[in-house]
A = this chain, B = another copy of it.
Amino acid sequence: MTSSTSVPEGKTTGDLDELKRLLSQVSDLNAAAGLMSWDQETQMPPEAARVRGLQMATLAGLSHELFTAPRLSELLEQAQPGEDETDVALLKVTRRDHAKATRLPGAFVEDQSRAASEAHHAWIEARQNNDFASFAPHLQKMIDLARRYADFQGYEEHPYDALIDDYEPGMRVAQVRSIFTDLRERTLPLLRRIVAAGDATDYSVLSRPFAPTAQREFALKIAREAFGLLPDFSRLDESAHPFQTNFSRSDLRVTTRFDEHYFPMSLFGTWHETGHAMYERGISERLERTPLSRGASLGVHESQSRMFENLLARSRPFWQRYFGEFAQAAPDVARGQDAESLYRAVNRVRPDLIRVEADEVTYNFHIMLRFELELALLEGTLKVSELPEAWNARMGEFLGVTPPDDTQGVLQDIHWSAGLIGYFPTYTLGNLLSVQLLDAAKQDADIAADLQKAEYGRLREWLVQNVHQFGRSRTPGEIVMGATGRPLSADAYVTYLEDKYGDIYGLS
């Protein structure tokens, strides 16, 4: 926007420099918006909410205007990247973002934003009153908007392709369907064997009292020592719903929440968000303040959070190494326990109603259910009014449980009320990728040996080299191929579940 550093037009590198400068302004504005949002969730006094909402809307609008302004658009169209690989990627990714941003009419964006705001409030109320019918018209509106969104963006095979592409660039319904079918066919029998086996673990240990301040201290100590989340470039705060956000690779903000009588929530929540944060930390400094300086996709992001949370912090070597420190931090919880009993307690498999509390075996069924229902709603083969019934039927089919009410069923997630349709599959794609990546890393014998000692320094370096550093300069597909040598599949994850839970539940 400033003209003080004007560059002679027509010169290729000059144009690129100017483009980068304009993009860095968009990035800075987005960072400010991100800070406003973080502050809102962690620091802001309650009465500030109304004006803060207006301020955040202004920043979102200005960011869109800057990104689609004539000069930036012109530079983006004309720019020639030269030899530099990163510049080539920058132009490719930015052109794709730009095309997506400019395909939507302003009136549609406003419509969507207003409808989402109304749907969100309706969802909160519907949940409180267990009243799906009052939310149904809003959900219908969000689905109609999603269909129109897909039409604006265009797609080849399925409108859902246009939706999922926003969260998982390059992913298509056909591929998700094929992976999910395979996963379901191979893990449903495993789940049934686990449920049939039962076990003698004392799970009451999970609800023993553990003071929130002590939980925080222990969670943070591990996040620092084991996972590298140093205070020099990060902080941990409390919020109603845990999240990770960041305003540069040197300004990572992780949040968690505490329940004195259910410590796994804060500990594994912190380590999950730490996985997200360390991904952003690992992105090359060269990409700073460009559109490439973010994780490649939600699925790749989730692979990192799940790796820390589940593959590392829910592993036997982790508890062997850290049980002593845990016992010091939580003597009441640790009394009469040992590393093995804690390991088993935090790996309980139990088919249940709520996605966010689900274990490694049942979690993906929650996602597959949502994926199928989203597809059916978008295709029009399922009416919104039939949704609760369809939900409950599938819960019975997959997990053998039936929600007693819609609040614990179809109304449990925030996503649809926010218009986030096509988002859910990335959770399971991330789960699958976490194991596929860890298996690839374990090809290095040193890393494999380290894991047996709950030593993660070399693994983290491997992740920076093979995943993190690229940011969005490689597609998720390229990252998976480059790091693991094969496309994403359910294979590694199924084997992981069979080995781990076969051992815990004594299935042979």
* A positions within 8 Å CB-CB of B: 1-4, 24-25, 28-29, 31-33, 35-36, 39, 43-48, 50-52, 54-55, 58-59, 61-62, 65-66, 106-107, 110, 231-235, 247-248, 250-252, 288-289
A15 to B214, CA, bound (A): 58
Provide a sorted-by-A list of 9 A–B residue pairs whose CB atoms are within 8 angstroms. A1-B61, A28-B54, A32-B36, A46-B232, A48-B233, A51-B289, A52-B247, A52-B248, A52-B251
Residue of B nearest to A231 (CB): B45
CB within 8 Å for A248 and B51 given contacts A24-B58, A107-B4? yes
A435 to B111, CA, bound (A): 54
Q: For residue A39, which residues in chain B have a CB less than 8 angstroms away from its CB? A: 35, 39
Q: For residue A58, which residues in chain B have a CB less than 8 angstroms away from its CB? A: 24-25, 28-29
A45, B247: Cβ atoms under 8 Å?
no
CB within 8 Å for A31 and B46 given contacts A4-B110, A107-B4? no
A48, B1: Cβ atoms under 8 Å?
no
Q: For residue A47, which residues in chain B have a CB less than 8 angstroms away from its CB? A: 232-233, 250-251
**In angstroms, how far is the closest chain B Cβ from the Cβ of A60?**
10
B233, A62: Cβ atoms under 8 Å?
no
CB within 8 Å for A50 and B250 given contacts A45-B233, A61-B2? yes
A418 to B34, CA, bound (A): 29
**In angstroms, how far is the closest chain B Cβ from the Cβ of A422?**
26
B62, A25: Cβ atoms under 8 Å?
yes
The 6 closest A-B pairs by CB, nearest first: A48-B251, A28-B58, A51-B248, A47-B250, A32-B32, A28-B55
A25 to B235, CA, bound (A): 30
Residue of B nearest to A64 (CB): B2
A250, B61: Cβ atoms under 8 Å?
no
Most buried by B among A24, A46, A58, A231: A58
A250, B29: Cβ atoms under 8 Å?
no
B59, A29: Cβ atoms under 8 Å?
yes
**In angstroms, how far is the closest chain B Cβ from the Cβ of A289?**
7
Interface residues of A: mostly helix, strand, loop or mixed?
A: helix
A251, B1: Cβ atoms under 8 Å?
no
The listed residue (B3, B31, B66) touching A55 by CB distance below 8 A is B31
Q: For residue A232, which residues in chain B have a CB less than 8 angstroms away from its CB? A: 45-47
Q: For residue A62, which residues in chain B have a CB less than 8 angstroms away from its CB? A: 1, 25, 29, 62, 66
A107 to B39, CA, bound (A): 35
B1, A247: Cβ atoms under 8 Å?
no
A28 to B57, CA, bound (A): 9
Q: For residue A44, which residues in chain B have a CB less than 8 angstroms away from its CB? A: 251
A33 to B58, CA, bound (A): 13
A158 to B139, CA, bound (A): 67
Q: For residue A48, which residues in chain B have a CB less than 8 angstroms away from its CB? A: 233, 247-248, 250-251
The listed residue (B28, B45, B66, B235) touching A234 by CB distance below 8 A is B45
A288 to B52, CA, bound (A): 12
A4, B106: Cβ atoms under 8 Å?
yes
Residue of B nearest to A106 (CB): B4
Most buried by B among A39, A66, A233: A39
CB within 8 Å for A45 and B2 given contacts A32-B36, A36-B32, A58-B25? no
A51, B251: Cβ atoms under 8 Å?
yes
Q: For residue A35, which residues in chain B have a CB less than 8 angstroms away from its CB? A: 32, 35-36, 39
Q: For residue A46, which residues in chain B have a CB less than 8 angstroms away from its CB? A: 232-233
A51 to B4, CA, bound (A): 21
A232 to B49, CA, bound (A): 10
Residue of B nearest to A252 (CB): B45
**In angstroms, how far is the closest chain B Cβ from the Cβ of A33?**
7
A66 to B36, CA, bound (A): 20
B45, A251: Cβ atoms under 8 Å?
yes
Most buried by B among A2, A28, A33, A289: A28
A250, B45: Cβ atoms under 8 Å?
yes
A48 to B288, CA, bound (A): 12
A106, B59: Cβ atoms under 8 Å?
no
Q: For residue A289, which residues in chain B have a CB less than 8 angstroms away from its CB? A: 51, 54
A2, B106: Cβ atoms under 8 Å?
yes
Most buried by B among A2, A50, A251, A289: A251
A349 to B282, CA, bound (A): 56
CB within 8 Å for A59 and B45 given contacts A52-B248, A289-B51? no
A250 to B49, CA, bound (A): 8
A51, B107: Cβ atoms under 8 Å?
no
Q: For residue A1, which residues in chain B have a CB less than 8 angstroms away from its CB? A: 61-62, 65
A252 to B44, CA, bound (A): 9
Q: For residue A52, which residues in chain B have a CB less than 8 angstroms away from its CB? A: 247-248, 251
The listed residue (B33, B45, B61, B248) touching A235 by CB distance below 8 A is B45
**In angstroms, how far is the closest chain B Cβ from the Cβ of A474?**
23
